A and B are shown apart, each in its own frame.
Chain A
Amino acid sequence: MPAWLDAHFIDLLNGLAMGALLFILAVGLSLIFGMMDVLNLAHGVLFLAGAYALWWIGGASPSWPAFLAALAVAGAAGAVAGSGLALVVERLARRSHLDQALLTLGLALIAADALSIGFGDDVHAIDPPPGLAASVAVLGKPYPIYRLALIGLGGALAAALHLVVERTSLGALIRATVSDREMVAAIGVDDRKVKLGVFAAGAALAAIAGVLGAPVYSPGPRLDGTALLLALVVVVIGGLGSVRGALVGALVIGEIESLGRAVLSDLASFVLFGALAVVLIVRPRGLFAAPTGARS
Chain B
Amino acid sequence: MTAPGERRAVAVVLIALAAAPLVLGTYGSATLARLLAFALLAASADLLVGTTGLPTLGHSAYFGAGAYAAGWVARHVAPSAPVMLAAAAGVSAVVAVIAGSVAVRARGVFFLMLTLAIGEVVEQLAQSWHSVTGGSDGLYGIPATRLGGLALSDAGAFCWYALAVFVAGMAVLRGVARSPLGAALRGIRDNEPRMRALGYPTYRYKLAAFVIAGSVAGVAGAVFAGQQRLVTPADLGFTASAPVLLAVIIGGEATAWGPCLGGAIVVALRDVLGPSLGGHGALVLGAVFVGVVFAMPGGLARIAGRIAGRSDRAATGGPR
Contacts and interface: CB of A to CB of B under 8 A. Distances in A.
Does chain A bind chain B? yes
Interface of A: 33, 37, 39, 91-92, 95-99, 101-103, 105-110, 112-114, 116-117, 222, 225-226, 228-229, 232-233, 235-236, 268-270, 272-273, 276-277, 280-281, 284, 295-296
Contacts of A112: 282
Contacts of B272: none
Given A106-B289, A110-B290, A281-B102, A225 B109 contact: no
Contacts of B287: 106, 110
A236 B116 contact: no
B293 A106 contact: yes
A112 B294 CA distance: 20
A47 B105 CA distance: 30
B117 A276 contact: yes
A116 B286 CA distance: 14
Contact of B286 (A97, A107, A228): A107
A113 B109 contact: no
A96 B117 contact: no
Contacts of A295: 108
Contacts of B301: none
Interface in B268-320: 278, 280, 282-283, 285-287, 289-290, 293-294, 297, 320
A97 B102 contact: no
B20 interface: no
A295 B106 CA distance: 12
Contact of A269 (B109, B128, B289): B128
A92 B280 CA distance: 27
Contacts of B237: 225
A284 B114 CA distance: 12
B45 to A, nearest CB: 14
27 contacts: A96-B320, A98-B55, A98-B112, A99-B297, A102-B249, A103-B293, A105-B57, A106-B246, A106-B290, A107-B286, A109-B283, A110-B282, A110-B290, A113-B280, A117-B283, A225-B120, A232-B116, A235-B113, A236-B110, A236-B114, A269-B125, A273-B118, A273-B121, A280-B106, A281-B102, A284-B105, A296-B108
A274 to B, nearest CB: 9
A225 B239 contact: yes
A97 B108 contact: yes
A232 B109 contact: no
A226 B57 CA distance: 14
B117 A233 contact: yes
B238 interface: yes
Contacts of A117: 278, 280, 283
Interface residues of B, number: 42
A284 B103 CA distance: 11
Nearest to A233: B117
Given A97-B108, A98-B55, A39 B289 contact: no
Contacts of A276: 102, 114, 117
Nearest to B99: A273
Given A97-B108, A117-B280, A284-B105, A236 B113 contact: yes
A33 B290 CA distance: 20
A95 B108 CA distance: 13
A281 B246 CA distance: 30
B107 interface: yes
A98 B109 contact: yes
Contacts of A225: 120, 237-239
Given A113-B286, A268-B128, 7 more contacts: A106-B287, A108-B286, A225-B237, A268-B124, A273-B117, A281-B102, A296-B109
A99 B293 CA distance: 7
B242 A105 contact: yes
Contacts of A280: 102, 105-106, 114
A19 to B, nearest CB: 17
Given A39-B109, A102-B293, A280-B105, A110 B320 contact: no
A225 B243 CA distance: 14
Contact of A103 (B108, B114, B239, B290): B290
A113 B112 contact: no
A69 B293 CA distance: 37
A164 B238 CA distance: 35
A222 B242 CA distance: 13
Nearest to A102: B293
Given A39-B109, A39-B112, A96-B320, A109 B282 contact: yes
Contacts of A114: 283
B242 to A, nearest CB: 7
Contacts of A98: 55, 108-109, 112
Contacts of B118: 273
A237 B105 CA distance: 15
Interface in B62-116: 102, 105-110, 112-114, 116
